[in-house]
Amino acid sequence: MGPRLLRWIFNTLMAILSRREIEGLENLPPEGPYIIAVNHLSVLDVPLAYSMLGGPQVTGWAAEKWRYHPIYGLLLRMGHGIFIERGKVDRRALRAAIEWLRAGNIFAMAPEGTRSRTGSMQQAKTGIAYLAHLTGAPIVPIAIIGTDRGIRTMLRLRRPKLTLRIGKPFRLPPLDRKDRAASLRRNTDEVMCRIAALLPPQHRGIYAEHPRLKELLAEQEGTPS
């Protein structure tokens, strides 16, 4: 009941306050397990994504600081959120995410760890590559567009256009046993470049000049990289 009620709440609010659209829905696998990877621009990201893709099979990490917040904590618990201690390796939260995926569910996360203050992508943490390595789950890249200016637009009593753009699922290559750190970074960059390829150029941030992004964009255009 909790996840369905939460989706109804977010769906109602976002339908009233914004103009939503979703692209690439055909790329979404029919069932889990898989990991959703999104960029993070605003507090609107979670209600937007959950209003369109949320449900009993979907959860993600949430900062421990929100656990006892009277509003955020309640909403996160309704969505079966897994609380995580930021800034350290929280093995309990990691185990919970692994078990969730191994049960055939969907785990959503923002690899950047915190929302961007500039509207552009920032360097991601390697947790998503590690989680994919431990579970073997495919990753679905999703770009969130428009939420960085959403609140300001709403405060002007206008409905912002907010977009979820879903890319094709993919799997990361195995980690290099001789250099796990480098291969974790390489795989994380792969995830972020695939998200960046779905974003308008002005939002690609630190990944804008990444060689892998240029390859992906060339593939989209059907030209040699």
Structural domain total, the chain: 1
Give the span between the Cα atoms of 4 and 78, in whole angstroms: 9
Containing domain of residue 77, as a range? 2-221
Query: From its phi and psi, is residue 164 left (phi > 0), alpha (psi between -120 and 50) or beta?
Result: beta
Q: What is the CATH number of the domain that holds 101?
A: 3.40.1130.10
Is residue 143 within 8 A of residue 22, CB to CB? The reply is no
d(CA 95, CA 84): 11
Give the phi and the psi of residue 192 in degrees, each rounded to 5. -70, -35
The CB-side HSE value for 166 (13 A sphere, CA atoms) comes to: 18
Question: The pTM is what?
Answer: 0.92
Taking Cα atoms as reference points, which of 96, 8, 110, 111 lies closest to residue 56?
8
Residue 214 burial (C-beta neighbours within 10 Å; 0-12, 13-18, 19+): middle
- Cis peptide preceding 33, ω within 30 of 0: yes
Per-residue pLDDT tens digits of the chain, which is 225 residues long = 699 999 999 999 999 999 999 999 999 999 999 999 999 999 999 999 999 999 999 999 988 887 878 888 888 889 989 999 877 778 999 999 999 999 999 999 999 988 888 889 999 999 999 999 999 999 999 999 999 999 999 999 999 999 999 999 999 999 998 899 999 999 999 999 999 999 999 999 999 999 999 999 999 887 554
Cα(27)–Cα(68) distance, integer angstroms: 36
Q: What is the pLDDT of residues 68-112, one digit of tens each?
A: 788 888 888 899 899 998 777 789 999 999 999 999 999 999 999
